[in-house]
Amino acid sequence: MNHFHAKAEWIDGAWRALVRYSHKADYWPVMSGARPAAYPSREKALIAAYQAQEKHVNGTIRGFGDKVCAARAEAERLFRPGRKPVVVERARARPL
């Protein structure tokens, strides 16, 4: 059961937005500071849950952190517009 899910539930007198990520088994509430966020309606809680899920997918999963940033910075150094290209030397393969 490796999938994402977002839902809204009535908990402690308010609507709460809950999100389940593929790498975590349980539902996690959308937080507002140190406490779970409370919403006045089910629709607003669902919107917040889907926005949190989208933020996770587009940020955490798609970005892969520093690896993509380092590769992009290296590529931009190689192909700077209007400047002389940077020569990259590759190490020769060692004979077996």
Residue 91 lies in a domain: no
Who's near 16: CB < 8 A, 6+ residues apart?
A: 8, 9, 10, 29, 30, 36, 37, 38, 39, 45
Q: For 84, list phi and psi in degrees, rounded to 5.
A: -65, 135
Residue 89 lies in a domain: no
Residue 44 lies in a domain: yes
Residue 50 lies in a domain: yes
Supply the pLDDT for residue 59: 72
The domain tally of the chain equals: 1
Question: What's the domain range around 71?
Answer: 5-79
Answer for the pair 8, 45: CB distance below 8 angstroms, yes or no: yes
Supply the pLDDT for residue 26: 87
Both tokens of 96, joined, read 């077996």
Exposure of 38 in the CB half-sphere (CA atoms within 13 A): 7
Residue 94 lies in a domain: no
Residue 96 lies in a domain: no
- In tens digits, the chain (96 residues) has pLDDT values of 458 889 999 999 999 999 998 777 789 899 999 999 999 999 999 999 999 988 887 776 655 555 556 766 777 777 777 766 666 666 666 666
Residue 93 lies in a domain: no
Residue 70 lies in a domain: yes
